Amino acid sequence: MAKTKPGKKELDSYTIRGTNKVVRPGDCVVMRPADSNKPPYVAKVEKIESDHRNNIKVRVQWYYRPEESIGGRRQFHGAKELFLSDHYDVQSAQTIEGKCTVHSFKNYTKLANVGAEDYFCRFEYKAVTGGFTPDRVAVYCKCEMPYNPDDLMVQCEECKDWFHPSCMNMTIEEAKKLDRFSCSDCSSDDDAKRSLNSSLVSPTDEEKVTPKRRKR
C-alpha cells in the first residue's frame, strides 16, 4: 500500500535568506526574476507553507508594472506605479529578495522622500482581458491626462484646474519661480506673463481638489 505523503503546514512567517527581515502574509515583497536583466517582480504574500521536506513556498498575488500590461506604459504612469492583478501564483520562498511597501496613490504623493522600496498602486488589473478598475480617473490640464506624481503641475488660481508647465509654454524652472498662475482660459496672455504665484502642491491634496475634475 502506498504511503500518504505528510500534508503541508501553514506558517505564520518566513525569514528572508541571509537577512533578518521577516515576511508575513499580507506583506509586499520583491522577488527575483528568471531573467536577471529584468527588474524584480513585486507581489503580495497571501500564504506561506512548508512541505514534509521543509521546502517553503509562498502563494502570491502579482503586481504588474505598466509595461507588463496589455496596454503598455503610458505618459501618466509614474516610475514607481504598479497594478494589483488578479494573477495568483505559488513560488519558492527562496526567490524573495526583500520587502517593499506598495502605498495607496494618495499616500504616495505625500511621501517626503521616495525610497527604492516604495511603490504605489491606483488601479486593479485583469491580466487576461487587460481591463482596469477603476476604468475612469480624474484628468487635468489641457492635455486631459491623469496625474503623474513624477511631474510638477501648477494650479490656476481662477478655475482651480491643474496644468503641466510644458502645456502652458513654460519651463519647469519658470513655473517654480511663479507666485501666482492663471491659465490661458482665465486670463489674457499679458496677465499670464505677469502672474506671480503657482501652487506646487499635488492635485491629490484634499484642499486643492475641486469638483471641476473631469473623468476619463
Give the start-to-end residue ranges of the domains of the chain.
Answer: 9-133, 138-216
Could you give the CA distance from residue 110 to residue 174 in angstroms, rounded to a whole number? Answer: 24
**pTM score:** 0.79
Ranges of H-type helices in the chain: 105-109, 172-177, 189-194
**208 — pLDDT class (breaks 50, 70, 90):** very low
CATH code: domain 138-216 is: 3.30.40.10
Choose between 25 and 172: higher pLDDT. 25
**46 — pLDDT class (breaks 50, 70, 90):** very high
| Mean pLDDT of the 162-178 span | 89
**6 — pLDDT class (breaks 50, 70, 90):** low
Residue closest to 118 by CA, chosen among 86, 88, 72, 149 = 149
Q: Which CATH number fits domain 9-133: 3.40.50.1100, 3.10.20.600, 3.40.47.10, 2.30.30.490?
A: 2.30.30.490
DSSP string, 26-55: T-EEEE--SSTTSPPEEEEEEEEEE-TT--
Is the pLDDT at 30 greater than 70? The verdict is yes
Report helix, strand and coil shares of the chain as percent, to nearest 5. 10, 35, 55
